[in-house]
């Protein structure tokens, strides 16, 4: 299973499934990251956390812990 945490800067990926539970899963979905959405990984912070992605036309920063719950293809 490949997650958003495994993607490299410059990759465009498609969300296949969300694995989080409760409030974390709800927060990710509220940010527009849902099944079938394309996500572009813009860059990583200097120490690797957080990551910056473009989703649905806006930039979003995610912690690696949250990115690990997003399965991609």
- Our CA dihedral for 36, 37, 41, 42, rounded to 10 degrees, sits at 160
Q: Is the pLDDT of residue 42 over 90?
A: yes
pTM strictly above 0.85:
yes
Fold observed for domain 4-72: SH3 type barrels. (2.30.30)
Residue 12: predicted pLDDT? 96
Domains of the chain, by residue range, sit at 4-72
Strand partners, 44: 51
Q: Is the pLDDT of residue 36 over 90?
A: yes
Residue 20: predicted pLDDT? 80
Nearest residue to 18 (alpha-carbon basis) of 72, 73, 69: 69
């Amino acid at each position: 299973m490949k997650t958003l945490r495994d993607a490299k800067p410059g990759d465009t990926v498609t969300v296949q499934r969300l694995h989080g539970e409760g409030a974390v899963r709800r927060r990710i979905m509220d940010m527009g990251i849902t099944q079938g959405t394309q996500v572009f990984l813009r860059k990583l912070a200097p120490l690797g956390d957080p990551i910056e992605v473009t989703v649905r036309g806006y930039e979003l920063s995610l912690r690696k812990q949250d990115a690990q719950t997003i399965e991609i293809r």
